[in-house]
Structure 1
Amino acid sequence: MATCQNCNYKWTKKSIWKLGFSKNGAICTNCGQKQFISFETKILMTLVDLLPIVGVVALFLYPWYVKLSNFEEGK
């Protein structure tokens, strides 16, 4: 669970969701320090959001990337 980097207060799920949709950060209800979602978390969430798109694109491009073999491999 997310905690304030200033006072280590555990944020509620509702507060975290609100912060996720905020572009200006949110104020910690315990100490009053403004908190923001970390760059690492933003990157992770972006990758998770892109996975379905990547899967669809990969299926579309599949015929161009398949390599064939004369025998069954990987056993």
Structure 2
Amino acid sequence: MIRFRRRRVPQVRHGGYRPVKQGARHRTVLDAEPVVGVVVSLLCGGFYRVERRRGLAIYDCHVCEEIAAEKAGWL
């Protein structure tokens, strides 16, 4: 019997991919969730390795929010 792995469909979210690192929800320039194991650059200058399980978001990263607002022309 041959078993096939299901390919996970990337989730596209309004506002882009927002990983949670140490309780803070960050912003990236990606529109969809990347494959597990990929290292993603955060807007605040940090890096995040994509994992299968997601962390609990306690608050939004204020640096990422300010940079995203500047790029969108809100500030």
Q: Report the TM-score when normalising by structure 1.
A: 0.29
Q: Report the TM-score when normalising by structure 2.
A: 0.29
Q: Which has the higher contact order (CA 8 A, sep 6+)?
A: 2
Task: Find the structure with the greater CA-based Rg.
Answer: 1
**Greater share of helix:** 1
**Greater share of strand:** 2
